[in-house]
Homo-oligomer: A and B are copies of this chain.
């Protein structure tokens, strides 16, 4: 393969039509320019210029090369502009890792609005059954349920959300209504798979009543929701998920309430990028939409 940098030399000579002015333009000795042209011609086995009237005119082969060299130049210039100057552009790719519940019910509904406001930003929501550490580059940013520990990460607390116990009328009809948390020991509980809990904050059942364990388990909060809504059991769900499902009814809302926080995490070196800032702002807004409803606990039932 020829040295791609020789295309730069070729372009300069093609434009200047002489070696010496091209050398001055590039800040390279004219002798070197001539040698590199010779090297390029040898590498391509093609004569690129013919000399006449004290100038170098492109041959047919040279003219063919010119278009490609200009394409390479465009790529190189765009590379510089993008890599060095992109910091201030509201365009480009952002990949945001989110819990499926959060992504489905909090962010996805706002994606159309985000897209209209920032048509140049390609925002991908990447679901994860756990939370990806953004520093492994599978995502640029993540919304997490636990504040991450040290690392070259930038962390911002987004806000709180509340969780309550939920079940379905069908379950209550079949099994009866438990009156206090201790009664839950006799119930079918739905929850996460302990071995795959990526954060102790997800161990809601232990917080409801020490020692409670789920019988029906999934790594997917939506699968859990489905199980509960279908009358399979009782479980803890975030209000922002549960209130959308008419099949769910709250349980012991006055006795059991769990509060958690969302954290926005991003790799330290991305923090200054305009598009990262735009996404961060938008995520904050989306979380704020929860606030309008979050302070009103669901009816305690009956």
Contacts and interface: CB of A to CB of B under 8 A. Distances in A.
A177 interface: no
Interface in A1-15: 1-8
A68 B78 CA distance: 7
Interface-centre pick from A6, A45, A83, A88 (highest chain B CB count, 10 A): A83
Contact of A7 (B4, B45, B52, B69): B4
A7 B76 contact: yes
A76 B68 contact: yes
Given A64-B83, A88-B44, A4 B5 contact: yes
Please classify how large the interface on chain A is, using the bins under 10, 10 to 19, 20 to 34, 35 or more: 35 or more
Nearest to A60: B270
7 contacts: A4-B4, A4-B7, A46-B83, A58-B137, A60-B270, A65-B79, A68-B78
A69 B64 contact: no
Interface in A46-71: 46-48, 50, 52, 57-61, 63-65, 68-69, 71
A76 B46 CA distance: 15
A170 B82 CA distance: 65
Contacts of A64: 79, 82-83, 86, 92
A83 to B, nearest CB: 5
A269 interface: yes
Interface in A76-135: 76, 78-80, 82-84, 86-88, 92-93, 135
A178 interface: no
A69 B60 contact: no
A45 B69 CA distance: 24
B137 A59 contact: yes
Given A44-B88, A78-B68, A57 B4 contact: no
Interface string A241-253: 0000000000000
Contacts of A68: 75-76, 78-79, 82-83
A140 interface: yes
A172 interface: no
